Amino acid sequence: MTGHEGDVNSICDVSKNEIASGSSDHTIRIWKLFEKKGFECVKVMQGHSAPIWKVIRINDNAVGSCSHDKTIKLWRNSEGECIKTFRETNYYIFSLLLFDDKKILAGDN
């Protein structure tokens, strides 16, 4: 898999044959597994202004991300668009966890 211009900091399953990756290049990429070609980038999502530390699966068509830009973003995979940005902290956010009926827990330093 090639495509990111920075380190890949996080990877998560998105659906049966797709994964998402978050990178120091400030992007999230959706990768689809093709039987003969392996993983190929099918979507690039831009919107963070600093490295992305964590991506998590929300459902088959959405991922969440946290970044050094002190935001959490929710993304719609099919369109590659940010559907919600949370700016609730003055700290860098390094971790996300989805639990208990779709609640998101964030961790900072």
Provide the CATH number for the domain formed by 8-108 in this structure. Answer: 2.40.128
The per-residue pLDDT for range 81-96, each reduced to its tens digit, is 999 999 878 888 888 8
Domain boundaries, the chain: 8-108
**Tokens at 100, concatenated:** 């208990």
Q: Is 104's pLDDT higher than 80?
A: no
pTM of the model: 0.88
Q: pLDDT above 70 covers what percent of the chain?
A: 90
Spatial strand order of the sheet with 72-76 comes to: 52-59, 62-67, 72-76, 81-86
CB environment 8-42: b (16+ within 10 A), e (fewer): bbbbbebeeebbbbbbbbbbbbbbbeeeeeebeee
